[in-house]
Structure 1
Amino acid sequence: MAGVPGQANQTLIESKAQLVEYIESGNKPKEYWRVGTEHEKFGFSWSDKQALPYDGPAGIQAVLNGMGRFGWEPVSEDGHVIALKQNGASITLEPGGQFELSGAPLESIWQTCDEVNTHLTQVQEVSRELGIGFIGLGMTPNMRREDVPMMPKGRYEIMRRYMPKVGSLGLDMMFRTCTVQANLDYSSEADMVKKFRVSLALQPVATALFANSPFTDGKPNGYLSWRSHIWEDTDPDRCGVLPFVFEDGMGYERYVDYVLDVPMYFIYRDGRYIDVAGQSFRDFMNGRLPGRPGELPTMDDWEQHMTTVFPEVRLKKFLEMRGADGGPWKRLCALPALWVGLLYDQGVLDAAWDLVKDWTLEDHNRLRSDVPRLALQARIGDETIQDVSKKVLALASEGLRRRARLDYKGDDETGFLASLKHIAETGRTQADDLLDAYNTRWNGSVLPVFEEFAY
């Protein structure tokens, strides 16, 4: 979640050191490491399988209002409820009405899965009363870009105007995609760097295992993860592989320099968003932002700007894993399990680094291009990503076993990887299964996906 602008840290930024210290303040001893899980889902009308408007008796606003019965507190912008909050978690809206749970930082996958299950049960209750549904896919299977209503959040209007200037698929990213992501902690700059390198190198494995967006505008699009492909033509200034992460000198300051060089979208002043798209945060820090001479940014401006960079792994005061398509209920807990298993045990983290440390920038870029089309059949050297995924899942399982976070029956967290292990063993993603259904029992229609996969 981007947060509520204007209600956060209003300290003026007078040096780059403040920005470095901001990220460094995320350092936590291992006993305080947590995992946060975020997932987006599409709302649709059962009558026509189209996207939900914001207003109306069966719109997104009605869903937000209905969630109030469960103790969620509303957050408003210009008189519109645009988010909910409760006990460290939040529900937010993406530009096309994608409904996102941004989970609280929790100690175990058991807890985060309970949170997901509670949330989706609440959403089910409200949506059934309204005659609507929600579904987890990486891409809307049938909804045209121009038919998806935009939510009433000022930042999205600025992004909508700017996106077509820098890429051809940015509006698809905004209005027609969904993801599931996991947020994890680090203990030091060195720990952050190793986790960043391992997770960035292995994002294509997550993309392949979670591939779930083979349809666009009601027909196959030639990809298994069209959502992942979209990021290749959204905005080269803020997306893609980050070569500097693998270079000597990577650290908090190097990442700050990267974010400073990403063009801005907006600033928030006096209750409204101001369009500064394409302008420089460095100029802003020097009091040279066009139209606002002499004004300096606040830490709130920096926090908001950090949310407008979109690499596959994003650093804030924690690391965000961003490479996976949205998916079915039963697999939402698998993503945090995968990354906790890989990153929260030092021996496993070291072994994962050994797996990828010799990959070249050419290798990373090739995987970034090939995996959205080929998923598990993409290749790295003499291996397929299917081969690599089996090794990765074995390491993640070992990491979860060593954590030994047990439920009341004495089971550890490794069971949350079962669905991914099945995909890795069979070589079949959910996208493959959807395409088979489309070509056989669905008779060339994508609409049955709503009946079979709605939450």
Structure 2
Amino acid sequence: MSNPSDQDARAISSIEDLVEVLASGSKPKDAWRIGTEHEKFGFVRPEAATAARPAFSAPPYAPGGIEALLDAVHAQGGWSPILDRGAIIGLKGEGEEKGGAISLEPAGQFELSGAPLANLHETRAEFERHFTNLRGPARALGLGFASLGFHPLASRDDLPWMPKSRYAIMRGYMPKVGTLGLDMMQRTCTVQVNLDFASETDMARKMKVSLALQPVATAAFANSPFFEGRPNGFLSNRARIWTDTDNARAGMPEACFAPDFGFGDYVQWVLDVPMYFVVRDGAILDVSGRSFRAWLAGERQDGLDGLTPTIGDFEDHLTTVFPDVRLKRFLEMRGADAGSPEMMLAQSALWVGLLYDDAALAAAEELVCEHDSTAYRDLRAAVPAQALHAPLGTGTARDVLARMVAIAADGLRARGLRDEQGRDESVYLAPLESLAAGGPTQAEHWLERYSGPWAGDVSRILLEGEV
């Protein structure tokens, strides 16, 4: 969401104002950028454990936890604090980090929202810089971080809540609309890539392709096979959580598959998603369950009486819808579990390769057209348990992944952007090429470790998966 101080306070005069919010994201191809966001779970390292802070437990906000870590990263330079009612709840990038931000998920999951970058080589450098800058302060506090899709050990009661006002609202609302919303908030981590579009037509093409193929990406990046210290029967428990979090605002909206889909159709869908909050005078007001459409129409609703809906309110509302691909002034690919740095970089490479080259996008469209939207929804339902073994048509998700990776590799090679060693961006697809050839997902790798050298001790995943 936007910070209260930089909200757009213009009153909404018509639906066209909302369409323009999305349309204003259109950019010429030479201005397209790549923004990668990734989350990770904090834990107390064994050598720093005490009776009050057991090994592998989640760090509190304070004392000696997430607040202190944010302060320490801030002290290194390159970041300014973001406050919520006086509490530091994130950092805004400056200088070399300009355009990026560090934020907190509800239970203290640490997130880098990467800057908009020109190529994947810059994304790799941003990853390396972030993890290097995080390790020193974290180790000084006795903390480590692991990128996994679902917390492998902790119950919800074991986990803290961060002092972010919007999370308090969501915490009260989530149990009213689904059984797994609090698990989503406290016990999941994801990686997503944010990509640009040139026009409404270009956005619609990219939306349809990426939304249809998102379940295949979910399968490829499956990395959450444990629940409270035991195998959970799923390869992506994070993906299962999203099947009953809040289906009014999540999933694969049918409107996005319509032949004439455009910005206005997405606006109409968003207007019917129940609200969470509005911001006034720097305070976040709980209006959970209210209707943005009814508010625009001037209907009376508790908490909204006397308030005029603004462009900033709509922009904040856009951040509270959670489809597998989310449209703002750019497109967010949201289907993947967090994982190893190599896999998270591969996620960005996959979608850049598929969507940022004209020939690759046309080939991906042909691939998608082999099945209808119902088939992709069925795949989405099967993937949490079966990952790449999930059926699609006469084949499996792995078969589709192999074709996606081949198209993406062509797309990345066509971009012709090379690093200092002369390698083009297709080098970052290597982990996915292994998967397409039959290799195990990250989840399957961890299950092999669990039944082998770990001898059933799931806590080992945190050190082996440390970033």
TM-score, structure 1 normalization: 0.98
The letter for the 2-side match of 1:384 is T
- Aligned partner (choices 288, 297, 320) of residue 308 of structure 1: 320
**C-alpha distance in 2 between matches for 1:395 and 1:100:** 30
293-302 vs 443-452, which moves further: 293-302
| CA-to-aligned-CA distance 1:57-77 (integer Å, 9 cap, x gap) | 2x0001100101132110111
Question: Which residues of 2 match residues 33-72 of structure 1 at below 5 A?
Answer: 33-46=32-45, 47=49, 48-57=55-64, 59-68=65-74, 69-72=76-79
- Aligned partner (choices 438, 447, 450) of residue 426 of structure 1: 438
Corresponding residue of 2:278: 267
Q: Name the SS of the counterpart of 1:181 in structure 2.
A: strand
Q: Could you list the runs of 5+ residues in structure 2 that have no partner in the other structure?
A: 50-54
Corresponding residue of 2:146: 135
Aligned length: 453
How big is the shift at 1:51?
Answer: 1.0
**C-alpha distance in 1 between matches for 2:461 and 2:304:** 50
| CA-to-aligned-CA distance 1:398-442 (integer Å, 9 cap, x gap) | 000000001122110111000111122124101001111111211
The letter for the 2-side match of 1:139 is F
Does structure 2 conserve the Cα–Cα contact (< 8 Å) formed by 1:141 and 1:215? yes
Corresponding residue of 1:155: 166
| CA-to-aligned-CA distance 1:173-193 (integer Å, 9 cap, x gap) | 000100010000000111000
Corresponding residue of 2:87: 80
How big is the shift at 1:294?
Answer: 4.0
**C-alpha distance in 2 between matches for 1:347 and 1:213:** 34
Corresponding residue of 1:297: 309
Does residue 1:281 correspond to 2:287, yes or no?
no
Corresponding residue of 2:334: 322
How big is the shift at 1:292?
Answer: 3.1
Question: Which residues of 2 match residues 197-208 of structure 1 at below 5 A?
Answer: 197-208=208-219
**C-alpha distance in 1 between matches for 2:263 and 2:205:** 12
Q: Name the SS of the counterpart of 1:70 in structure 2.
A: coil
The letter for the 2-side match of 1:250 is F
Question: Which residues of 2 match residues 372-387 of structure 1 at below 5 A?
Answer: 372-387=384-399
Does structure 1 conserve the Cα–Cα contact (< 8 Å) formed by 2:212 and 2:373? no
How big is the shift at 1:284?
Answer: 1.6
Does residue 1:451 correspond to 2:450, yes or no?
no
**C-alpha distance in 2 between matches for 1:291 and 1:35:** 38
Does structure 2 conserve the Cα–Cα contact (< 8 Å) formed by 1:239 and 1:312? yes
How big is the shift at 1:330?
Answer: 2.3
Does residue 1:95 correspond to 2:106, yes or no?
yes
**C-alpha distance in 1 between matches for 2:449 and 2:197:** 42
How big is the shift at 1:364?
Answer: 1.6
Does structure 2 conserve the Cα–Cα contact (< 8 Å) formed by 1:376 and 1:427? no
Corresponding residue of 2:447: 435
**C-alpha distance in 2 between matches for 1:292 and 1:379:** 47
**C-alpha distance in 2 between matches for 1:354 and 1:78:** 50
Q: Name the SS of the counterpart of 1:26 in structure 2.
A: coil
Does structure 1 conserve the Cα–Cα contact (< 8 Å) formed by 2:214 and 2:335? yes
Does residue 1:251 correspond to 2:262, yes or no?
yes
Corresponding residue of 1:231: 242
**C-alpha distance in 2 between matches for 1:101 and 1:398:** 29
How big is the shift at 1:111?
Answer: 0.5
How big is the shift at 1:32?
Answer: 0.5
Q: Name the SS of the counterpart of 1:333 in structure 2.
A: helix
Q: Name the SS of the counterpart of 1:36 in structure 2.
A: strand
* Stretches (4+) displaced over 3 A: none
- Aligned partner (choices 420, 424, 438) of residue 408 of structure 1: 420
Q: Name the SS of the counterpart of 2:322 in structure 1.
A: coil
Same amino acid, percent of matched pairs: 50
**C-alpha distance in 2 between matches for 1:6 and 1:260:** 24
Q: Name the SS of the counterpart of 1:426 in structure 2.
A: coil
**C-alpha distance in 2 between matches for 1:308 and 1:19:** 15
- Aligned partner (choices 155, 176, 183) of residue 165 of structure 1: 176
Does residue 1:341 correspond to 2:356, yes or no?
no
**C-alpha distance in 2 between matches for 1:341 and 1:17:** 32
How big is the shift at 1:295?
Answer: 2.3
The letter for the 2-side match of 1:7 is D
- Aligned partner (choices 381, 385, 403) of residue 391 of structure 1: 403
Does structure 2 conserve the Cα–Cα contact (< 8 Å) formed by 1:287 and 1:295? no
Does residue 1:177 correspond to 2:184, yes or no?
no
325-334 vs 391-400, which moves further: 325-334
How big is the shift at 1:444?
Answer: 1.2
The letter for the 2-side match of 1:137 is L
65-74 vs 147-156, which moves further: 65-74
**C-alpha distance in 1 between matches for 2:99 and 2:258:** 35
**C-alpha distance in 2 between matches for 1:347 and 1:60:** 45
**C-alpha distance in 1 between matches for 2:112 and 2:304:** 36
Instruction: Name the Cα RMSD after superposition.
Output: 1.0
